[in-house]
Each structure stands twice: as structure tokens, then as C-alpha cells.
Chain A
């Protein structure tokens, strides 16, 4: 199962990002565990400055906006 972290201070965009990832994963039948990371120190340690950002298996794959469904599909494939 893929571990996916959504980094962000809990703003509405971050919540949307987590929701849309869970939805896309369900659509294509991939099991994921999506968690929201709001701790500023943890966000800093990932080197992220623009939230929401997405981290999959400890690699930052996206930052600064709500990702598109196509992008999410390509990460999960």
C-alpha cells in the first residue's frame, strides 16, 4: 500500500487535495493511505515552501496547488 502525505497547514486546498487523491485511488482501485501532515517542522524537513504539497514514499512529487486528476493517476500507476 502506498503511503501518501499531503503537506499543508490545514487550509481548504490541502483538504481538497487529500480528498481528490483518495477519490482517484478508489476510482482506479489502488489501495492508498492518505494522511495530512500539518506540523510546520515536518513540512520544512521535506523542503516544501508552497502548500499543498504531496509526498509519496518520502519523495515530494508536487507542490503549490491542488494536483490534477491526471497527475495523481500517473503517481499511483
Chain B
């Protein structure tokens, strides 16, 4: 089914530009054209279809659903909804406050917000088509676990102490208020409404993501064409325990969204970087970004921000080490 993109790249790179497959440039360019065209087509089709299906899911509904839940299932549900609910990262703060003022514990809210950038349906489908179902399953389980365990940890240390005072008061009011009445009755959407939502979602997400795909695949193509086979394995392979924290340290200041980082993951793994190190690098690129942390300052005190940062660093490093150890068994 995907051969058509190989033919396209053959035609364009070897035919039209008459580059030889034997040269590094030809090889790298072929890889670039094939992957970018494939990912673009997959993205447009998948974003549209998925948006069609989830047109009626929004953060307001998720809040109404999560409010008053038992904590145990709350973390799991929070993280699960974080994975599938669409919202713009510029809405993180209003979402945080909306959940908080409904009395939802900070840990459950953070399970939602931590999982959200790590997993989204587009990333999952791209992973499936580029790296196969085993890796995809692994990625989803790890991403949700980081969200769930992170949320439990934050509630254990009573992180709500370190919210900004207006947010803490809103949480207390919300918890005394008892269960909310749903803010809006679920309503049926017509197909035309779903189509129009799906079309604008596709334009919106594609508009944000296309450049990340080019950067991601470009890096992948450079690795593919110019880094000698076996170099990564020899220098950053399993033997070097420090390569995982180094990957996390490198990933944090870099920021990409999950869709853009997947082509990089693909080429890193194919070039022999161990799975754990790859996961650690990519998750830290996606989940932790400085601009996002600066925004969170509006609702959290420094102590909580630093705690959260340290939590993510530790979590991704552990993920890396554990999966490098497990690789022989996967």
C-alpha cells in the first residue's frame, strides 16, 4: 500500500533529478521525499477521519466526567482522556483551572495534562505505520504510565499546597461544592457539523505540524545518508549507561510535538539507537518545553514547577534504562 511513495521518490530523485541511488545525496533525498509524502498523506487522511469520530468530545465534557470520580480510576481516566481529547496547548492553563475549580484533584488534572502532549491519535497511527504495533503499544503504555504515576506522586506529596493562592482557593471551593451539574447537555451533531469540524481540524493540525515533519524527516534523512552504519550503535549503544540521561538532557531544551518527533524516532531506531534511549529522548522533547513551564508559573509556585521538572527528568531517564534492559526480551 505504501509502495506508491517509493515509486514517487524513485521518479522524482532518480528520474527527474537524475541522482544515483549509490550516492549519499541521492540516498538521503530519496528517503526524505518518500517519508515526507507518505506522512503528509497519512496525516491528512487520518486527522480528518479521527476528527469526524471525536467531534463531540471536548474538555468541558471530560471535566464533567472526571469531577467527583474516585481517585483510583481518576488517574487512569485522566490520562486516557489526555491521550484522546484535542486541545490547543495554549489552552493548558484554562483547562488546568477549569478542572481545578471543579474540585478535581491536582494529580488527576496533571495525569491529563502530562499525557496529552505525549500521546495523541495522530502520533499513534503514525507510529503504527512507521514502526509497527509492538512499538506503538509500548509507547502508549509508557506514555500513560508516566501520566498516571506522575499524577499519583503529585497527590502523594500534596502538590496542591504549592499552587498559586487563587488556584488553591478555587480547588477548595470546588471540592466543597460537591458534584457539578453538567455544563451542557450532550447534543447530537449532524454529519455536516462533523464534516465542518473535521475539515477545520485537519487544516489547523496540518498547518501546525507540516514543518515539524520536514525537520524530523530531514534529520532522519541526514542520519540515514551521512552517519555511517553502526556508528550510533558503537558509540551510543546499550553499553553506555550515561547515554540515557544525556539523551534526556539534550531533549528537554529541544521542543517538538509528538507528530514531528516520530520520523526522528524511526531513523534513530533504524540506525541502531537502543529503544529505551530513543524513547527517553523523544518523550523529553515532546513533554517538557520551557515556554510551557513558564506559562504554568501563572498557576503554580516555583517549588511545584521544579518538582514537576525533576519528576519528568527522572521518569524519562527511568523509562530509558528500563527499556534498554528489556530490549533483549521484546
Contacts and interface: CB of A to CB of B under 8 A. Distances in A.
B63 interface: yes
Given A8-B90, A9-B295, A50-B87, A40 B59 contact: no
Interface residues of B, number: 22
A1 interface: no
Interface string A39-66: 0110110011111000000000000110
Contacts, number: 55
Contacts of B90: 8-9, 11, 13-14, 51
Main DSSP-derived SS at the B contact region:
helix
Contacts of B87: 50
Given A40-B93, A43-B97, A49 B59 contact: yes
B101 interface: yes
Contacts of B88: 11, 13, 51
Interface of A: 7-9, 11, 13-14, 40-41, 43-44, 47-51, 64-65
Given A13-B90, A47-B98, A64-B58, 18 more contacts: A7-B94, A9-B90, A9-B295, A11-B88, A13-B88, A40-B94, A40-B97, A41-B97, A44-B94, A44-B97, A44-B101, A44-B166, A44-B170, A47-B101, A49-B63, A49-B97, A50-B58, A50-B94
Interface of B: 58-60, 63, 87-88, 90-91, 93-95, 97-99, 101, 166, 170, 183, 200, 295, 298-299
